[in-house]
Structure 1
Amino acid sequence: MSENGPHGVEALPLGMIDVPGAPAGCRARLEERARLQWWTADGGDPAALAQEFLAAHGIALDDLARPATHDPDGVCGAALYLSAAAGARAAGGPPGPPSPVPALPDLVVVVYGHTDQRPAAAGGADGGWWLGQWCDSWTPRQHANAVSAVRDAIGRGDVYQVNLVGHAAAAYAGDPRPALARLAALPGARYGGTLTGAGWAIGCASPETLIALEHGRLVTRPIKGTRPATPAGRRDLLASAKERAEHVMIVDLERNDLARVARTGSVRVDELFAVRRWCDLWQAESTVSAAPAHGLGLAALLRAVCPGGSVTGAPKLAALERIAALEPVGRGASMGALGWVGAGRIDLGLTIRTVAADAQRLHLWAGGGITWGSDPAAEVAEAAAKAAPVRALLAAG
């Protein structure tokens, strides 16, 4: 575990903060004040470590039901990144196989304060950017066999649904940060943005809210169900009994997760199976909300909702055991949380459609939920369709 001042971590020019969820009115006048980085090998509870570090630097998130006011002149808030492995650790499940990006921490908390300094121009030079061929960590046949293995587990009654995720990597040359920043321009990238550190960077184009605090209520927006963004694809998604059953199962899981930390009787489904667009895909999204219980802190909230139900399955701990047994490499930057926390504000996206860079390679993950009605070939094709827009944008010069 490491705690550093901003210059001990990375000496980059001051620029507009590009963290997903950062307050729009503050992004041009923020500077890094302190940073925590943690790997699962360090031991301990990442959720507790995050809350304690934030409190030590002026961001008290020990009672989310208590109104709080943003300080326009002092500490603004913090970027928070939590890997899927860290989320599994916090939830009491297996973390899965080793990450293909060992330089990337499993927990990053970066505290930002306001400054009157003029930021440098956002972004960087694209000149000299080169991206090699993608190499997948499993073949289509291996992916399809894993889908069949999940269906067998469902048939035995071990699980009801499991989300399977594949990984691919590609060598690159040049500065990866401008390429990663371009992901925010993808249509539907509600959590578009970047986070960087020494020897690593994350770029996100996620459309999915893992957890947010909005108008005094906790909100999650699980996405489950995908079709091509054509009129026929939309009709097919709305008519699919398989997709709706899969979706409702995850909505029920999210209702249960929120109920663990909510005021009694306050959990509700505000919107069910709404079809929305991400790039050239239709996806089904629901909105579940609840009033936070009195005394609920950030750590308990993270333990309740991480890893996200839409990227694990049901029951969650049993699904995590299947994931750890079947996926060939760790989920790295994907299927975790990335966003912003501050006084009276939480806005964390689930890191789907997310890319990580280390010193030599870019890493990308994609997958989907597997139920008894899943067709292995169709699941392989769906994962490829989710990765395609991200790969295309990263390859652009």
Structure 2
Amino acid sequence: MTRNRPDVVEALPAVEVDAPGAPPGCRRRLVETARLHWSTGDGGDPADLAQRFLAAHGIARDDLSRPGRHEPDAGVCGAALYLSAAAGAYAIGVSPGAPSPAPALPDLVVVVYHHADRPVPPPRPALAPWRLGGWRDSWTPAAHATAVGAVRDAIARGDVYQVNVVGHAAAPYSGDPLPALARLAALPGARYGGTLHGPGWALGCASPETLIAVERGRLVTRPIKGTRPATPAGRRDLLASAKERAEHVMIVDLERNDLARVARTGSVRVDELFAVRRWCDLWQAESTVSAAPADGLGLADLLRAVCPGGSVTGAPKHAALARIAALEPVGRGASMGALGWVGPDRLDLGLTIRTAAADGDLLHLWAGGGITWDSDPAAEVAEAAAKAAPIRALLAG
């Protein structure tokens, strides 16, 4: 575990902040003043570590039912928070699965920002040209299809109702990866578009999916499940698909149960169900589930309730995580975790789908989908490839 605690704001350089959820009016005048890195091998509870570290730096989120205030002229503004899927599993006592293919990337990152007195200068352009080599998948299409079949067998035995399986690919690169990751973060529809980086690693996110947010005093999650090509025929097919709707409703029920564990009794509701929206070249189905937070609900308990996200694990969640750990050949790394902003007045975390990460030698990308009894292995392999294709093309630049 590493920490960085300078004594004064000027101890660290100002950088333009593009973490998802950062107040737009503050982004050009933020300076990093404290940083926490944690990995699963460090021990302890990452959710509790995050809450205590934030509180130690002026961002107390020990009762999310109480409204906070953002003071533009005050010192502390908020913090970028990243929590990997492995850390989310670890926090609830479940195996985090296979090792990450990008071990330089921490499993928890908290970066605290204060307001600077003057605007931050724009970033310097990269000096070396960007080159991205060929992608190499961690499993073949046949191995992916076999994993889909294994999930169907587990469903037939009654072990699970649904499991999300995720594949990984890596490509060598040369040059600075941050501009490529920033291009990814700028994709249309990337509600949680942003980047985060540290020594020897960087990640870029173009996620459209809300894992958890606090909006107008309510906890809100917006699970996405169900994908088709962004054509008129694709939209009609998605709306008419009994398989996609059943899969989607299972996850909505799971999210309702997750929120009920930390919500005021009787306050959980489904505000919108199976709304079809476009992301780049895909139609996707999204629902909105919300609840009033229980009195005294802190950030740590909320993270343990919703991480890892139900739409990228399955149902029941613990049983699905066990299948994921047994089937996926490499860890989920930067994908299927949480990334966003925690401030005195806001909490807004996206699910890190459509996410890539760079270490010292390789660029990493993950994609997958939810498997039910009605899933066709070949179609699931094709769906994962369709999700990854626009990101691969954009990263190549």
2:95 is aligned with 1:106: no
Q: State the partner residue of 1:52.
A: 52
Contact 1:129–1:172 under 8 Å retained in 2:
yes
Alpha-carbon distance in 2 for matches of 1:345, 1:156? 43
Contact 1:204–1:352 under 8 Å retained in 2:
yes
Q: Kindly state the Cα deviation for residue 138 of structure 1 after the two structures are TM-superposed.
A: 0.1
Q: State the partner residue of 2:179.
A: 178
Q: Kindly state the Cα deviation for residue 16 of structure 1 after the two structures are TM-superposed.
A: 1.6
Q: State the partner residue of 2:332.
A: 331
| Cα displacement string for residues 47-83 of structure 1 (whole angstroms, at most 9, x for unaligned residues) | 0000000001100000000111112121000000000
Letter in 2 for 1:257: D
Letter in 1 for 2:54: L
Contact 1:13–1:120 under 8 Å retained in 2:
no
Q: State the partner residue of 1:70.
A: 70
Q: Kindly state the Cα deviation for residue 184 of structure 1 after the two structures are TM-superposed.
A: 2.0
Alpha-carbon distance in 2 for matches of 1:178, 1:6? 28
Alpha-carbon distance in 2 for matches of 1:151, 1:394? 34
2:368 is aligned with 1:367: yes
Residue 25 of structure 2 aligns to a residue in which SS? coil
Contact 2:336–2:353 under 8 Å retained in 1:
yes
Superposition pairs of residues 128-277 of structure 1, within 5 angstroms? 128-277=129-278
Contact 1:123–1:177 under 8 Å retained in 2:
no
TM-score, normalised by the number of residues in structure 1: 0.97
Flag the 1:381–1:35 CA change in 2: closer, same or farther, 3 A. same
Alpha-carbon distance in 2 for matches of 1:6, 1:351? 29
* RMSD of Structure 2 on Structure 1 (CA): 1.3
2:379 is aligned with 1:378: yes
Q: State the partner residue of 1:280.
A: 281
| Cα displacement string for residues 335-393 of structure 1 (whole angstroms, at most 9, x for unaligned residues) | 00000001120000000000000011100000000000000000000000000111010
Q: State the partner residue of 2:16.
A: 16
Identical aligned residues as a percent: 81
Q: State the partner residue of 1:87.
A: 88
Alpha-carbon distance in 1 for matches of 2:358, 2:12? 16
Letter in 2 for 1:145: T
Contact 1:6–1:32 under 8 Å retained in 2:
no
Contact 1:97–1:328 under 8 Å retained in 2:
yes
Letter in 2 for 1:37: H
Flag the 1:154–1:75 CA change in 2: closer, same or farther, 3 A. same
Alpha-carbon distance in 1 for matches of 2:5, 2:46? 20
Once superposed, which parts of structure 1, at least 4 consecutive aligned residues long, lie more than 3 Å away?
none
Residue 26 of structure 1 aligns to a residue in which SS? helix
Alpha-carbon distance in 1 for matches of 2:96, 2:128? 38
Q: Kindly state the Cα deviation for residue 123 of structure 1 after the two structures are TM-superposed.
A: 6.3
Alpha-carbon distance in 2 for matches of 1:31, 1:326? 42
TM-score, normalised by the number of residues in structure 2: 0.97
Flag the 1:75–1:258 CA change in 2: closer, same or farther, 3 A. same
Contact 2:14–2:116 under 8 Å retained in 1:
no
Alpha-carbon distance in 2 for matches of 1:6, 1:97? 36
Contact 1:124–1:177 under 8 Å retained in 2:
no
Residue 324 of structure 2 aligns to a residue in which SS? helix
Superposition pairs of residues 344-359 of structure 1, within 5 angstroms? 344-359=345-360
Residue 18 of structure 1 aligns to a residue in which SS? coil
Alpha-carbon distance in 2 for matches of 1:179, 1:126? 14
Alpha-carbon distance in 1 for matches of 2:344, 2:48? 17
Unaligned ranges ≥5, structure 1? none
Q: Kindly state the Cα deviation for residue 91 of structure 1 after the two structures are TM-superposed.
A: 2.1
Most deviating of 64-73 and 348-357: 64-73
Residue 24 of structure 2 aligns to a residue in which SS? coil
Q: Kindly state the Cα deviation for residue 126 of structure 1 after the two structures are TM-superposed.
A: 7.0
Give the length in aligned residue pairs: 393
Alpha-carbon distance in 1 for matches of 2:55, 2:5? 16
Unaligned ranges ≥5, structure 2? none
Contact 2:63–2:295 under 8 Å retained in 1:
yes
Q: State the partner residue of 1:27.
A: 27
Letter in 2 for 1:114: H
Contact 1:126–1:179 under 8 Å retained in 2:
no
